[in-house]
């Protein structure tokens, strides 16, 4: 018996890297998996069926059940196509892993509008679109559900040359918290991971060690997708190799103005007190 027997999962961007590992891990625990991947390059250009088909074949050869989907999640129609594949093939949806992503890195002053727009469309809009379409089905099923989004240290801490990617990933963190609040009454748990692993997306990022593997990330996906995580929602979990941490917002004790209202000079004079 697997942790996810009888469950149906969608994994976007599952043709390689993290998504492939997530799909394989979910299938190993008994989930039927929709493997979504546009089949394009790291920058989002191009398309093809080979990547998704290959992962579907891996799952089937291991004794699992899977179906491919080749739509782009950057449009509402594409997101609906992914969800419809799950319904048409397996009859329901229990788990969504929003993993699809691309990179168009460029420093802020050199970034073109199209670079900003396409990264926002795939990461932030794609997460919203697939979540909305799947959550509507989950609510109708009335059996709860699990939605797992993918944020990044680039969005929560920052990284040079990734204003578009960082803004999208920070947006996903905020979206996760709001979605968790709104969907809680339907027992749909919404969380996010903040992974660091060596994949096609990070192959040229020096600070990501080669021994931080995609396989390190997938156990928390299985945990968050399963009944083991009952009641866990609105949380952000960092995974770096074998280490898991939780991101939490920190607010200082602050200070109160001496009079009825702050002045700029008083803020300057008491800045250390405010921020400690």
Which domains are present in the chain? 8-248 (3.40.50.720)
Q: What is the pLDDT of residue 3?
A: 97
Total residues found in the chain within this entry:
276
64-76: b (≥16 Cβ within 10 Å) or e: bebbbbbbbbbee
Q: What is the pLDDT of residue 39?
A: 87
Q: What is the pLDDT of residue 46?
A: 80
**Which single residue is written with the structure tokens 């040359």?**
161
User: Is the Cβ–Cβ distance between 84 and 50 less than 8 Å?
Assistant: no
- Catalytic amino acids? 165
Q: How far apart are CA 154 and CA 165, in angstroms?
A: 7
pLDDT in tens for each of the 276 residues of the chain? 899 999 999 999 999 999 999 999 999 999 999 999 998 887 677 889 999 999 999 999 999 999 999 999 999 999 999 999 999 999 999 999 999 999 898 999 999 999 999 999 999 999 999 999 999 999 999 999 999 999 999 999 999 999 999 999 999 999 999 999 999 999 999 999 999 875 655 555 555 656 668 889 999 999 999 999 999 999 999 998 889 999 999 999 999 999 999 999 999 999 999 999
Q: What is the pLDDT of residue 87?
A: 98
User: Is the Cβ–Cβ distance between 157 and 210 less than 8 Å?
Assistant: no
Q: Could you tell me which of 186, 194, 11, 189 has the C-alpha nearest to residue 98?
A: 11
Q: Which residues contact 193 (CB under 8 A, 6 or more apart)?
A: 148, 149, 150, 151, 217, 220, 221, 224, 236, 237, 238, 239
Q: Could you tell me which of 98, 121, 76 has the C-alpha nearest to residue 190?
A: 98
Region for residue 199 given its phi and psi (left: phi exceeds 0; alpha: psi -120 to 50; beta: otherwise): beta
Q: What is the pLDDT of residue 114?
A: 97
């Amino acid at each position: 018996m697997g942790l996810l027997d009888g469950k149906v999962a969608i994994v976007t961007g599952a043709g390689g890297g993290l998504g492939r590992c997530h799909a394989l891990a979910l299938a190993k625990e008994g989930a039927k998996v929709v493997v979504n991947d546009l089949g394009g390059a790291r920058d989002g250009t191009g398309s093809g069926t080979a990547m998704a088909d290959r992962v579907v074949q891996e799952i089937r050869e291991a004794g699992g059940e899977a179906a491919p989907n080749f739509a782009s999640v950057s449009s509402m129609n594409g997101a609906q196509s992914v969800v419809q594949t799950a319904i048409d093939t397996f009859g329901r949806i229990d788990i969504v892993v929003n993993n699809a992503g691309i990179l168009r890195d460029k420093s802020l002053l050199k970034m073109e509008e199209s670079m900003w727009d396409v990264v926002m469309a795939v990461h932030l809009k794609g997460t919203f679109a697939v979540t909305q379409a799947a959550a509507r089905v989950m609510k109708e099923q009335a059996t709860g559900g699990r939605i797992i989004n993918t944020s990044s240290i680039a969005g929560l801490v920052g990284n040079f040359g990734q204003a578009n990617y960082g803004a999208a990933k920070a947006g996903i963190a905020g979206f996760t918290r709001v979605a968790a609040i709104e969907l809680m009454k339907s027992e749909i748990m919404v969380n996010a991971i903040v992974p660091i692993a060596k994949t096609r997306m990070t192959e040229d990022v020096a600070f990501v060690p080669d021994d931080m593997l995609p396989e390190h990330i997938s156990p928390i996906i299985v945990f968050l997708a399963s009944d083991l995580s009952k009641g866990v929602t609105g949380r952000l979990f960092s995974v770096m190799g074998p280490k898991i941490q939780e991101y939490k917002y920190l607010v200082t004790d602050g200070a109160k103005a001496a009079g009825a209202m702050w002045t700029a000079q008083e803020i300057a004079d008491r800045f250390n007190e405010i921020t400690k």
